[in-house]
């Protein structure tokens, strides 16, 4: 802030007579405005860093969800295949038993 104060003083003509603002208050106002802008800049920088962290967290969470979904989808597909195979086997066994029952009926 020292460098900006000396810059303001040099623009002001050293605080009196013939500079940009002869009253000397312009330099103070510029210094206040500059200070305010620097504070806002720092706040924006902090918010930006916070947003970057949140974005990273959300991106990681999204990637985790995506992996979980893919794994669940694959697990579901495998279970459906197992159930289909089991159903096919049970239906085949059922047909065999029905055939055996029909044969027994014809023998009686």
Q: To which residue do tokens 């605080």 refer?
A: 15
pLDDT of residue 37: 96
> How much is the pTM?
0.53
- For the chain, residues with pLDDT lower than 50 are 1-22
Contact 19, 12 (CB under 8 A): yes
pLDDT of residue 25: 77
Q: Is 75 exposed, middle or buried (0-12, 13-18, 19+ CB in 10 A)?
A: exposed
pLDDT of residue 41: 97
Distance between CA atoms of residues 101 and 94, nearest Å: 10
pLDDT of residue 50: 98
């Amino acid at each position: 802030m020292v460098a900006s104060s000396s810059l303001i003083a040099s623009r002001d003509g050293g605080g009196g007579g013939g500079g940009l603002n002869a009253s000397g208050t312009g330099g103070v106002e510029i210094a206040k405005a500059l200070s305010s802008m620097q504070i806002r800049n720092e706040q924006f920088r902090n918010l930006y860093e916070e947003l970057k962290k949140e974005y990273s967290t959300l991106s990681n969470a999204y990637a985790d969800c995506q992996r979980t979904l893919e794994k669940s989808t694959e697990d579901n597909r495998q279970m459906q295949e197992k159930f289909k195979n089991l159903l096919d086997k049970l239906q085949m066994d059922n047909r065999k038993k029905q055939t055996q029952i029909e044969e027994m009926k014809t023998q009686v």
